[in-house]
Homo-oligomer: A and B are copies of this chain.
């Protein structure tokens, strides 16, 4: 018996990541193509179809080897119909993604939000380790999230569930967020937010390592903050304490309501490892119920850039 493969597709603003994945979550073959955002992103589904055909030919397989496609896309999506209301970075507006990709490939397609499929990937084969109740938070340029409860991604009534980055972490006097509110978690726990807080702190610590290193580098970055904290720079340690205080507060409050088994921290900032996780756990424990603390572990994501395609395959496997 031949086991069929699933096609996982993870669409980003600059590249499309694609993979053939077996029913056990192993990547059989993978690649990526540039995201062509010209003409309102109208070539993207064709580019995906071409990659699939070319890769099958390269592997000496035919389309009958493929079961279906699970795809993650950024923006506002109707997950039931696979219709994209708007995806600014891609150029799509009112785009029938599912229908178009099904026509171009001849395969059944299921679509979900990019942050959500990354969460499913980590659940299935990554740091989630099979836990059916998990929170995934991506700390990158912004803060994204996905919530899995009873093994299913939560979408909410109009697809906004999982917007962890816009939980208010600073009730009064917070920074302005792109979403229109102030004090969102994203303003204080994204890479951008960390750098901003650090810039404020170095005025109080002009002789700190962080102050001199950022001056040498010509700019402040989250990576610099963690590097200096690893060298025991007091200023950098204080910045991380503040950042993890807010993040721990927001995650603990969510955990009090959702009682997850795992909280998976991904994105560029998560590369800081224990320098991030240790103060985060301290803050989390301050704000979470003892029994909730008992039930959960906070871990860093393990799949990196593969989380999306693997989660896409999970979606295709379980929902098609």
Contact = CB atoms under 8 A, between A and B. Distances in A.
Contact of A154 (B149, B155, B156, B162): B149
A242 to B, nearest CB: 13
Chain A interface size range = 35 or more
Nearest to A154: B149
Contact of A133 (B156, B162, B260): B156
A287 B254 contact: no
A167 interface: yes
Interface string A139-182: 00000010101101011111111111011100100000001110
Given A164-B257, A168-B252, A257-B163, A295 B181 contact: no
A310 B267 CA distance: 45
A319 interface: no
A286 B171 CA distance: 9
Interface of A: 131, 133, 145, 147, 149-150, 152, 154-164, 166-168, 171, 179-181, 249-250, 252-254, 256-261, 286-287, 289-292, 294-296
17 contacts: A131-B157, A133-B156, A147-B257, A149-B149, A156-B259, A158-B259, A160-B259, A160-B289, A160-B292, A161-B258, A162-B257, A162-B259, A163-B257, A168-B287, A250-B253, A257-B257, A257-B258
